[in-house]
Structure 1
Amino acid sequence: MRIGFDAKRFFNNASGLGNYSRDLIRILSTFAPQNDYILYTPSTSVERYTDLVNPEQIKTPKGYINQNFPNLWRTKRIVSDLKKDQINIFHGLSGEIPVDLAPAKIKSVVSMHDLIFMRYPNLYHPIDRWIYKKKFAHACRRADKIVAISKQTKNDIVEFFNIPQEKIEIIYQGCHEAFKILKTDAEKQQLKNSLGLPDEFLLNVGTIEERKNALSIVKAIEHIDIPLVIVGRSTKYQLQLQEFIHKHRMENRVYFLSGLNMQELSVLYSSALAFIYPSIYEGFGIPIIEALYSGTPVITTDSGVFPEAGGPASLYVRPHDIGQIQHAIESILSDSNLQQEMSVKGLAYAQQFNDDNLAAQWEKQYLTL
């Protein structure tokens, strides 16, 4: 088969949808190499990502109109390129597909990550909500197959877009190989020294925004003698964290980091005493999976997708219940046997997200279109 991908995020997003796209294409290239994988993108702004595939796999817009109006190319005019390249299946990796694929006799699959903008509309600008709804609704209604990254996302698609359940399959997101490799004590110490971190700390990873709820973690450790490392792109929400930190004289206990590569991030996960993720809502929550593969105990939210991602060995809390979060942290810090049990059972649970399992599920979806 010749499978074309909407690879805009593959080449232009450093995290989130970019990681999903890169992991999926890596997995398919490794475990289903009999197919041809063609990546369509308006641009390749991050040079290091172009090295992940062969140059002949990358397709960019050609001609005056397509090059000067890349959004038009991506949503409509790309279909003529797909026909010329004899694409059998087009896979929209980030909730979008072009119009008029069916008349061109090109089958389509769309990966749907979340509908947070509909579940929590107050977190988004009205224009952004309108654009997202229009694009995602079109993709869900027109695609031959929808693949949701979790049961939670599948339920949201059914609820908000009135899509039949049988049209939606669930295939979980993969995890970068770096998190699956055991780290040495020397690696951990070297990273902590290079970043100026203490020997022991708690970890939170994700964009520093209101929905991720890192402020609840900061409040929970106010009276616990343990540092916190927060990794992620900053937004205005970080000002709330810094205000609380300054007011309560916690400057020497909370560390903000960004710009780490996957190897550094994977070592950081392995170095943490526990990973804390009290997010309000996610489509899946890949940082939880990264922590499980790293053998790091997980504390996360007790509803939505989080138990689905964290499995039976994680500890679950109400995201705004500071006392409950504090108690969960103290339970892990004070009990080495609990730490070991959570580490071993969490790693065992994570094996369902292994590359070969995911590749087999994707190959089945492509073959049954």
Structure 2
Amino acid sequence: MTGRGGGPAGGRVGIDAHVLDGKFQGSRTWVLEILRRAPALAPDLTFVVYTGDPVAAAALLGPAPNVEHRLLPPQGAVARNLAFWPAAVRDDRLDVLVTQYFSPPRHPRRQLVVVHDVLFHTHPEFFDVRTRWRNRLLVGWSARRAGTVATVSDYSRREIARAYGRAEADVLLVRNGVDVSAATGTGTLPAAVPPGTRYALMVGRLEPRKNLRLALDALALVDDPDVRLVVVGRDDFEDPRTLARLAAEPRAVHLQDVPQDALWELYRRASVLAFPSLGEGWGIPVLEALAAGTPVVASDATAIPEAGGDVCSYVDPTAPGAAAALAARLREAFDGRLPFDAEAARRHVGRFTWDDSAVTFVTSTRVALERAGSHAG
């Protein structure tokens, strides 16, 4: 038996992978790591991957006999959903279309929409008015109508159910993960961070909800001229005043576009990962630091404790004494006194591998195929 496109019997699965062409963020990492693994787990399915550069995407993902690459023309989400995707479903004979956050108005039963978070709904203060209302309208519409909805954390699953009236049990989980083998390798530190430097590491886009401001406030309370705060990430509408403070702080190092092997080395050699974010659908850097054997001081907000479990130290980022509390944990980390059970961290991280994430993605895809009336095996 063959699928609608004449391929393997399990069906043809379209993947909106336009984030592979964009900025480094959690949704990009999720797509990349899933697509590196899922095709080998489901040889009966054909994965049709849409990106702005199919040649680069094929090189990034590696060869797979059941993957086809297609060009996704540059256009906004509205144009993609109103025009491109309905045509692609028809012309490429897709049984299921996997998108993130937004899905097209046609063929709702053939859609698997992945909503990583609904922070624009729960934490609207971190989004401009246009983004807030666009997402409320389009994500809400997609989450209510799509045949299958998935997300990356129990926290997001609860919030999606609360916001859009979808039963929690009907929102499938395809968690974020970590590549433990990569975390335990070797690499070279960036030149701006000499070996032997004691530093707290922050990883992520620079935007207000990531709470770089609090990290800088805490650093100012650490009375040690030799320690550093190493910030890895590009500006993503961060408050200009916070960016100016980062640039002016002599004990801060700001890095952008760090190669993956150098980033892992930064994780491994850090005294601590500081993750004071005010809102996350998960928190991939938390898992990555733990996999590298590095202690983590994180915010206790939203899904972050889900990522960190009971092996991280937590602070309340909204408490009046948040900067002092974070500074106290940083001092302990710099002095080697921060409580941290490396063996417990390894056990925790072992529950969240990208291999396991790919398995649950394939399972979710088969659910979507069944709901779409496909020949899912």
TM-score higher than 0.5? yes
1:29 Cα deviation from its structure 2 partner: 2.5
Match of 2:282 among 266, 281, 284: 284
What per-residue deviation string (whole Å, max 9, x for no partner) do you get for residues 23-62 of structure 1?
1111212433442110124x229x744412459722226x
1:311 and 2:309 matched: yes
Match in the other structure for 1:32: 42
Per-residue deviation, 1:194: 6.0
* 1:183-238 superposed Cα distances (whole Å, 9 cap, x missing partner): 3xxx3xx4244655762211011112211111212222223422110111124425
- Aligned residue among 239, 242, 254 for 2:241: 239
Task: Read off the aligned partner of 1:143 and give its amino acid letter.
Answer: A
Deviation, 1:109, is 1.0
**d(CA) in 1 for partners of 2:361 and 2:354?**
11
In the other structure, the counterpart of 1:51 is: 59
Looking at structure 2, the residues matched to 298 and 81 of structure 1 have their Cα atoms a distance apart, in angstroms, of: 44
The range that moved more, 164-173 or 24-33, is 24-33
Report how far residue 128 of structure 1 moved: 1.6
- Residue 7 of structure 1 corresponds to 17
Q: Hey, what's the Cα distance between the residues in 2 that align with 1:20 and 1:300?
A: 21
Q: Tell me, in whole angstroms, the C-alpha distance in 1 between the residues paired with 2:76 and 2:270.
A: 46
In structure 2, relative to structure 1, the CA distance for the partners of 1:362 and 1:306 (3 Å cut) is same
How far residue 69 of structure 1 moved from its aligned partner, in angstroms, is: 8.7
> Residue 51 of structure 1 aligns to a residue in which SS?
helix
What's the offset of the Cα at 1:367?
A: 2.4
* 1:137 Cα deviation from its structure 2 partner: 1.1
Question: How far apart are residue 181 of structure 1 and its match?
Answer: 3.1
SS in 2 for 1:207: coil
The answer to whether 1:151 aligns with 2:159 is no
1:261 maps to which of 259, 262, 269: 259
What is the alpha-carbon distance in structure 1 between the residues aligned to residue 308 and residue 77 of structure 2?
39
Taking the aligned partners of 2:131 and 2:179, their CA distance within structure 1 comes to 30
Instruction: Please state how far the C-alpha of 1:261 moved relative to its aligned partner.
Output: 2.1
Corresponding residue number in structure 2 for 1:358: 357
Preserved contact between residue 192 and residue 198 of structure 1 (Cα < 8 Å): no
Deviation, structure 1 residue 75: 3.3
User: Alignment identity in percent?
Assistant: 21
Question: Residue 140 of structure 2 corresponds to which residue in structure 1?
Answer: 137
State the Cα distance separating 1:363 from its structure 2 match: 2.3
Tell me what 2:6 maps to: none
Distance 1:299 1:359 in 2: 28
Question: In structure 1, what is the Cα distance between the partners aligned to 2:116 and 2:262?
Answer: 26
Q: Secondary structure at the match of 1:40?
A: strand
| Partner of residue 95, structure 1 | 101
Does the 8 Å contact 2:179/2:354 carry over to 1? no
Question: Contact 2:13–2:45 at 8 Å: present in 1 too?
Answer: yes
TM-score normalised by length of structure 2: 0.83
Conserved 8 A contact 1:75-1:98: yes
Which residue of 1 is the match for residue 88 of structure 2?
81
CA distance in structure 1 between the aligned counterparts of 2:326 and 2:103, rounded to whole angstroms: 41
Whether 1:344 aligns to 2:340 is no
Distance 1:228 1:73 in 2: 40
Question: What CA distance in whole angstroms lies between the structure 2 residues aligned with 1:75 and 1:12?
Answer: 21
CA distance in 2, matches of 1:22, 1:178: 16
Corresponding residue for 1:298? 296
Deviations 1:146-177 (A, max 9, x none): 11111111121122222222221222113356
Distance in 1 separating the partners of 2:338 and 2:130: 51
Please say if 1:115 is aligned against 2:118. yes
Alignment of 1:146-295 (within 5 A): 146-176=149-179, 179-183=182-186, 187=187, 190-193=188-191, 195-196=193-194, 199-222=197-220, 223-225=222-224, 226-234=227-235, 235-237=237-239, 239-240=241-242, 242-243=244-245, 246=248, 250-251=249-250, 253-295=251-293
**C-alpha RMSD of the superposition:** 2.7
CA contact (8 A) 1:149 1:171 kept: yes
CA deviation string 1:289-344 (max 9, x = no partner): 111111111110123211101011100101141121122223333346834x2x33
SS class of match (2:266)? helix
- Give the Cα separation in 2 of the matches to 1:229 and 1:76: 43
If each structure's helix is expressed as a fraction of its own residues, which one has the higher value?
1
